[in-house]
């Protein structure tokens, strides 16, 4: 046996019949290519079901689940939802969503800091997509890593609450760059805080000049109708694009 | 720490190519990481040491080429180097910059034996 490479040819001085080594080979692959192809497959599958899909991202505690709970209750009867809940541990959020009567599936990422397209692909198997208008994916609370992972959604929606700093868009620019909409939550607390709302909006537009911004409080209900209008408008736009 | 998952992808891709080539070991891997890719090269290096154990890439050297970011202004088309996503156009002040390069996270080549 050849002691150079372990091939079956007799040693020494034989012709290996294959490339010399060591040698350099070109790869040219994106490290996210696998996730991207799965996300594209999700997107095609969701479009086939006329499904409008949102990926909700934020830091922990900004109110993603509370916004969802109120949205699902307020829009019950107008449109049908399904919810994928991403958290490292526990099914607490899924239990809160289940109490609204909407189908929900909890995805626990364990040590993982984000949802990926593969998890969403299997998570969505829990739902009857034909009878669902909107799939809400609540990502793991983390303003960093979920920015890099396409799940096959139509839009990333970033939630930022006024109990956080107004400079969050500058500190976590990747997320605000890839989001199409920011929901600024808990604005009923503004009188008690030193949060500069206008500065926050300026910072978000500095990172992403096209970003839409809606100020609301899922606790008091102020601003929620603007969010519902956005949901209906963008959902209809997607269905119209599908039809043409 | 999404670098951990990216590094696992890297090793998976490397092993597929190495096996296809009939390689016994991977000597080195070269990556291109853009300065605005959201990936921290030190975290990739750390994850690589851990994740490569027991694979064909164990003991391989990791070469990370950092790609500086360049943006083009949507308003005046000026091209400018970018340090952050909050940068504005030095010519007209607009924040609407398209990123031409600097978001790469690519596995470009490797040396096998």
pLDDT in tens, B5-63: 999 999 999 999 999 999 999 999 999 999 999 999 999 999 999 999 999 999 999 99
Residue in B with minimal Cα distance to A211: B96
User: 200-229 in A: which are within 8 Å (CB) of B?
Assistant: 203, 205-207, 209-210
Three-state SS string across chain B, please?
A: CCHHHHHHHHHHHHHHHHHHCCCCCEEEEEEEEECCCCCCHHHHHHHHHHHCCCCCCCCCEEEEEEECEEEEECCCCCEEEECCCCCCCCCCCCCCEEEEECCCEEEEEEEEC
Please name the residues in contact with B47: beta carbons below 8 A apart, sequence gap of 6 or more: B1, B3, B4, B6, B7, B8
Contacts of B38 in chain A (CB under 8 A): 144, 147-148, 174
Interface with chain A: mutation pick from B21, B25, B85, highest number of A CBs within 10 Å: B85
As a whole number of angstroms, the distance between CA B56 and CA B58 comes to 6
Is B17–A27 a contact, with Cβ atoms under 8 angstroms apart? yes
Does A8 contact chain B (CB < 8 Å)?
A: no
Burial class (CB in 10 A: 0-12, 13-18, 19+), A243: exposed
Is B109–A24 a contact, with Cβ atoms under 8 angstroms apart? yes
The pLDDT score that the predictor gives to residue A3 is: 46
Does B23 contact chain A (CB < 8 Å)?
A: yes
Two structure tokens written together for A74: 């307020």
The pLDDT score that the predictor gives to residue B15 is: 97
Largest CA distance in chain B: 55
Contacts of B88 in chain A (CB under 8 A): 206
Instruction: Quote the minimal CA–CA distance from B38 to chain A in Å.
Output: 7
Q: How many CB pairs under 8 A join A and B?
A: 94
Nearest to A55 by CA among A121, A123, A140, A112: A140
pLDDT at A6 over 80: no
Q: For residue B22, how far is the Cα from the chain centroid?
A: 26
Per-residue burial over B7-46, b = 16 or more CB atoms within 10 Å of its CB, e = otherwise: bebbbebbbebbeeeebebbbebbbbbbbbbbbebeebee
Please name the residues in contact with B43: beta carbons below 8 A apart, sequence gap of 6 or more: B1, B3, B4
Higher pLDDT, A15 or B1: B1
As a whole number of angstroms, the distance between CA A164 and CA A14 comes to 69
Does B107 contact chain A (CB < 8 Å)?
A: yes
Contacts of A148 in chain B (CB under 8 A): 2, 38-39
Tell me the β-bridge partners of B67: B34
pLDDT in tens, B51-96: 999 999 999 999 999 999 999 999 999 999 999 999 999 999 999 9
């Amino acid at each position: 046996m050849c002691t150079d490479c372990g091939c079956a040819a007799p040693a020494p001085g034989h012709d290996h019949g294959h490339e010399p080594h060591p040698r350099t080979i070109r790869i040219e692959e994106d490290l996210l290519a696998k996730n991207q192809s799965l996300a594209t497959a999700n997107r095609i599958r969701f479009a086939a079901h006329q499904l409008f899909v949102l990926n909700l991202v934020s830091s922990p505690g900004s109110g993603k689940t509370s916004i969802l709970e109120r949205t699902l209750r307020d829009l019950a009867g107008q449109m049908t939802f399904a919810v994928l809940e991403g958290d490292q541990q526990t099914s607490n959020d899924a239990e809160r969503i289940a109490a609204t009567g909407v189908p929900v599936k909890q995805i626990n990422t364990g040590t993982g800091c984000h949802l990926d397209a593969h998890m969403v692909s299997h998570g969505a198997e829990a739902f009857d997509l034909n009878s669902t208008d909107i799939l809400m994916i609540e990502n793991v609370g983390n303003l960093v890593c979920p920015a890099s992972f396409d799940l096959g959604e139509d839009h990333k929606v970033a939630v930022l609450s006024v109990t956080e700093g107004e400079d969050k868009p500058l500190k976590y620019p990747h997320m605000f760059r890839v989001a199409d909409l920011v929901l600024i939550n808990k604005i009923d607390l503004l009188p008690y805080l030193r949060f500069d709302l206008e500065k926050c909006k300026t910072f978000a537009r500095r990172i992403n000049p096209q970003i839409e911004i809606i100020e609301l409080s899922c606790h008091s209900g102020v601003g929620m109708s603007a969010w519902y209008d956005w949901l209906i408008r963008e959902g209809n736009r997607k269905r119209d694009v599908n039809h043409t | 720490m999404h670098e951990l998952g990216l590094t696992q992808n890297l090793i998976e891709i490397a092993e597929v190519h190495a096996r296809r080539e009939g390689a016994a070991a991977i000597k080195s891997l070269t990556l291109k990481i853009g300065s605005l890719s959201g990936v921290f090269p030190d975290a990739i290096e750390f994850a690589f040491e851990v994740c490569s154990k027991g694979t064909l890439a164990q003991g391989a050297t990791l070469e990370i080429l950092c790609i500086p970011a360049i943006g083009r202004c949507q308003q005046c088309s000026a091209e400018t180097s970018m340090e952050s996503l909050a940068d504005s156009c030095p010519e007209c002040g607009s924040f609407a910059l398209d990123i031409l390069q600097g978001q790469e996270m690519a596995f470009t080549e490797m040396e096998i034996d």
